Structure formats: structure tokens, C-alpha cells
Amino acid sequence: MPTYQLKVNGQPREVEATSETPLLWILRDDLNLVGTKYGCGIGSCGACTVHLDGVAMRSCQTPVGKLAESGQAVTTIEGLSDDGSHPVQRAWLEHDVPQCGYCQSGQIMSAVSLLQNSPQPSDAEIDAGMSGNICRCGTYVRIHAAVKTAAK
Ligand code: FES
């Protein structure tokens, strides 16, 4: 199998995989970064959201071969902070957002990306920016409130 050089959470990492292997499985199975979750595997739920060069992307839809070719840097939920001190993580704690918690790392990664693009988002911008992340527990009201708090 070929090897690929990746940059993940600021560190160079070498992985062995077929070129079509989704980044999601590289992160979880090879690099033990299990904060990134598998939900649907078809790009529909947002549970697997990570940042590629700061932009929120679905890791289940990102083949490792293409990623290595692009040289884009990967940031996962583990790369935001060591101790949950990122402002978005703090806002999530303040609003006690998670219920089961499964989708929340993807939610937070989308929120961070949204706030990078739009530091003071309107209600409509929050709804639009977070609309690709599904939560089966229905924590949307608290997610919205936490994004507003993080924007302050
Ligand atoms: Fe990637 Fe659902 S697991 S979008």
C-alpha cells in the first residue's frame, strides 16, 4: 500500500492506505483521533466534520490520496485545544449543549469555521452555517445560543 504524508493538528504524520481511503478512517483507525465521528458515511450528517486549511469539510468524503496531493492541513476537534479552552468549546460548556454528544465535535468544528468566516453572524447566518450538521437529540436551540455566545 502507498504511504502518504499528512499534516494533522500541526504535526507531520505518515500513513499507509489506499488512495481512496476516507480521511475519517485515517484519523480514527490510524491516528487514534476518535473525536471525529462516523455518522452516515455519505456526506449528509456532519458528524465527521474537520477543517482542511481552516475550512469545514466532511472527512468521510475526503480521500486520503487527494488530500495528500493538495497538501492541505487537517485540524480535528483534538487540534482546537488540549483542554477544552477554545472559545467555542467554552460556549458549548456554558450552554450545556450536548445531550448524547455524538454529533457535537462535528457541530463545534462547523461553528468554529462559521465564526472564522463571519465573526458576528446573524441568526439566519447561524442557521445557514450550521444547517449541514444533524443532531438526533435536537440540541439545535442550545447550539444556536452557544454560537451566539462564542461570537461575543
Ligand atoms: Fe461524514 Fe455523515 S459521516 S457526513
Edge-first strand listing for the sheet containing 3-8? 11-16, 3-8, 73-75, 49-52, 55-58
Quote the pLDDT of residue 85: 95
Q: Which residues line ligand 1 (CB under 6 A)?
A: 38-41, 43-48, 58, 60
Query: Per residue in 40-66, pLDDT tens?
Result: 999 999 999 999 999 999 999 999 999
Burial (CB count within 10 angstroms: exposed 0-12, middle 13-18, buried 19+), residue 63: middle
Query: Per residue in 104-130, pLDDT tens?
Result: 999 999 999 999 999 999 999 999 999
Same domain as 51, residue 118? no
Atom of ligand 1 minimally distant from the CA of 59: 1
Same domain as 98, residue 135? yes
Given a contact cutoff of 8 angstroms between Cβ atoms, the answer to whether 7 and 74 are in contact is: yes
Quote the pLDDT of residue 152: 85
Same domain as 91, residue 72? no
Among 9, 28, 10, CA closest to 79? 9
Measure 132 CA to ligand 1 centroid, in angstroms: 10
The Cα 109–Cα 59 span in angstroms is: 12
The Cα 40–Cα 60 span in angstroms is: 9
Residues forming beta bridges with residue 16, ordered by sequence position: 3
Domain interval for residue 140: 87-151
Measure 40 CA to ligand 1 centroid, in angstroms: 5
Query: Per residue in 63-76, pLDDT tens?
Result: 999 999 999 999 99
Q: Which three cell numbers stand for residue 103?
A: 454529533
Quote the pTM value: 0.97
- Domain total in the chain: 2
Work out the pLDDT band at 142, boundaries 50, 70, 90: very high
Same domain as 21, residue 61? yes
- Predicted ipTM of the assembly: 0.98
Mark which of 78, 109, 131 sits at the end of a domain. 78
- CATH assignment at residue 108: 1.10.150.120
